[in-house]
Structure 1
Amino acid sequence: MRLNYVETGPADAPVVLLGSSLGADQGMWAPQVDVLSKRFRVIAFDHRGHGRSDVPEGPYSIEELGGDVVGLLDALDVEQASYVGISLGGAVGLWLAQNAPDRFHRFVAICPPSNLAANPQPWIDRAAQVRAEGTQAIADATLGRWFLPEFKDIDPILQMLLDCPAEGYAACCEALSTLDLLPGLTSITAPVLLITTDSDTSVPPETVVPLATQIPGAHLEVIENAAHLVTYSHPDVINPLLLAHLG
C-alpha cells in the first residue's frame, strides 16, 4: 500500500505523523505544519483511499488503516514517532497506541470516534450514498458538522472533500462502521492527549470525554465554541496544546 505524504522540518528532528479526517487529505494540516516543522520532522500523510494515496477496493478496516501507518514508518526507516490524528486519523491513532506501542512515543487524538460499531447503519448508508453519488452528495452536511456557521474559510476544505475518491471515502466509512476501540484502551501505555469540542456533532464530546478515564494517564482538553475540524478552525488554540504535549 503506497501512502502519499508530505515531509517538512529538519531531517534529524524527532518525527511527528499527522493523520487526517475522513474525506480530507494531508493539506488540512496547513495551519499546523509551519509551527510543528520548526521543532519536528513532520510527515503529513493521506489515508488509503484519500488524496494521492492508493485507492484499493473496499471495504477497509481499522487494522488496515493502522497497518498502513506502520508500513509508512518502515518505508521511511523511522523506528519511532509521535502521532497526531483527528477524526478518522484519531481513531487510527488509538488503534496504533494499542497495537504498535513500540513504534510511538506520544499520541494526540482529536475528536476521535471509538465505538461506531454500536450504531453502524449510518456509516453503511453513507458509504452506499457516496459510491452512488460521489462526495458532493454529502458535502453540505459534512461542512455543517465540521465548522460552526460563523467560520467562513471553508473553500480549501470543501475542495479536498470533493476531490476525495468516492471508493476511498466509502471504504473508510465501512471501516468506521466496524470500529470498537474500547476494549483495548486500558492497555495504552504512551502519553495521550485527548481533544474534543463543545459543538462537535460528528463525534460528540460525550463520547470522547469518558475515554480520558479509560486510557491510563490521558489528559483531556475540551475546546469551547468549536466544531469537529478544530485543527483548521482554531489553530491558535490547538497548536500550543500540540507543542506542549509533543515536547
Structure 2
Amino acid sequence: MNDTIRLGDGTSLAYRLDGAADKPVLILSNSIATDMTMWDDNVPVLARHFRVLRYDTRGHGRSGAPPGAYSLDRLGRDVLELMDRLEIRHAHFLGLSLGGFIGQWLGVRAPERVDRLILSNTAPWLDGPFEEMIAALYDGKPMTEFAQMFLANWFPARMRETDAATMARFHAMIMKTPPQGLAGAFAAVRDADLRSVLRLIDRPTLVIGGAHDTVTLPEHSEQIAAAIPGAQLAILPAVHLPNVEMARAYEERVLAFLGGSGS
C-alpha cells in the first residue's frame, strides 16, 4: 500500500506498507540520493516476518523537497510523525547511510519508540566537501555528475560493469532526486555529530559495515559498535549498499538479529 501524509511543517511524506498487519513493524530508511525502492530486493523476504514500513526521506522520491538545509532533528521527527499518524507505538528500525544517521538520532532521542535498532553503512560524523556539493547543486551542476559519483561510491567495479539493470535502476533514482532535496540532505549530514551521545543508546543494536566501503568506512562502524553498550558488529565483504550487492547474506544477518520470526 502506497500513501502519503502531511507533516507538521506542511511537507508531504510518502510511505509504503508491506506484510501482514498483525506482524511486528520494521521501518526501513533509505540512503541519500535514493528512495524507498532501494529496498525492493529485500522486502519480499523481510515481509514474511514483519509489517515492513518504508518511506521516502524528505527531499527524496515522492516526498516533498522544501528548500534550505535539513537537520537530523527534523529527519528524525519525520519518522516519529509518520509512526504517530499510523498509530505505531514502537517498531524495529533499519537505516542505511543517511537512514543510519536517523536511526542513531532515534536511539538517542526516542528510545521508547525503538525495539531493535540496525545501523547499516553509516557513521556518527562525516567530514566531506559538503559545502562545495551544496553550492554546486544550487549552481545547477548536472545531476548526471552526481550520479556517476554515487554509483562509484555504492557498488564494486565488477557490479557496475556487469549488472546493467541494477545500475540503471539506481541511476534513475538519483536523477529523480530534486537538487534542493539532495542539498538539504547534504546539510543534515554536514551538521550531524553523534559521537558524544552514542553511549546513551540503550536499545539492542546491530551495526553493519562494508569492508570495502569508502563512504562510511569500516572504522566508522567499529566506532559506533564500540560506543553503544552491548552492540553487535557485522562487517560484510561489500561496498556501501550491501542490501543490494549481497542481498541474501544481508537479509540473513538482519533476520538473525531481529529474531527471524518477527519476535
What TM-score, normalized to structure 2? Answer: 0.90
Identify the match of residue 19 of structure 2 among 3, 9, 29: 9
CA–CA distance in 2 between the matches of 1:14 and 1:83?
11
Q: Is the 8 A contact 2:123 2:224 kept in 1?
A: no
Q: Is 1:156–2:169 an aligned residue pair? A: yes
Identify the match of residue 96 of structure 1 among 106, 112, 115: 106
Q: Counterpart of 2:245 in structure 1: which amino acid?
A: S
Q: Which SS does the other structure have where 1:183 is aligned? A: coil
Q: Which SS does the other structure have where 1:16 is aligned? A: strand
Cα deviation digits, residues 166-204 of structure 1 (max 9, x gap): 111110001110110111111111011000011101111
CA–CA distance in 1 between the matches of 2:254 and 2:13?
24
Cα deviation digits, residues 14-62 of structure 1 (max 9, x gap): 0010000000000000111000111110011110010001111120000
Q: Is the 8 A contact 1:86 1:109 kept in 2?
A: yes
| Paired position in structure 2 for 1:246 | 258
Q: Which SS does the other structure have where 1:42 is aligned? A: strand
Please, what is the CA RMSD of the aligned residues? 1.0
| Paired position in structure 2 for 1:52 | 62
Q: Which 4+ runs in 1 deviate beyond 3 A?
A: none
Unaligned runs of 5+ in 2: 1-6
Q: Is 1:146–2:154 an aligned residue pair? A: yes
| Paired position in structure 2 for 1:199 | 212
- Cα deviation, residue 113, structure 1: 2.2
Q: Which SS does the other structure have where 2:196 is aligned? A: helix
CA–CA distance in 2 between the matches of 1:100 and 1:219?
20
CA–CA distance in 2 between the matches of 1:149 and 1:56?
34
- Identity value in percent: 35
Q: Which SS does the other structure have where 1:133 is aligned? A: coil
How many correspondences in the alignment? 243
Q: Is the 8 A contact 2:27 2:91 kept in 1?
A: yes
Q: Which SS does the other structure have where 1:228 is aligned? A: coil
CA–CA distance in 2 between the matches of 1:21 and 1:129?
20
Q: Is 1:26–2:33 an aligned residue pair? A: no
- Cα deviation, residue 134, structure 1: 4.3
- Cα deviation, residue 229, structure 1: 1.1
Unaligned runs of 5+ in 1: none
Q: Is 1:181–2:190 an aligned residue pair? A: no
Q: Is the 8 A contact 2:56 2:63 kept in 1?
A: yes
Q: Which SS does the other structure have where 1:236 is aligned? A: helix
Q: Is 1:62–2:72 an aligned residue pair? A: yes
Identify the match of residue 227 of structure 1 among 239, 252, 256: 239
Q: Counterpart of 1:40 in structure 2: which amino acid?
A: F
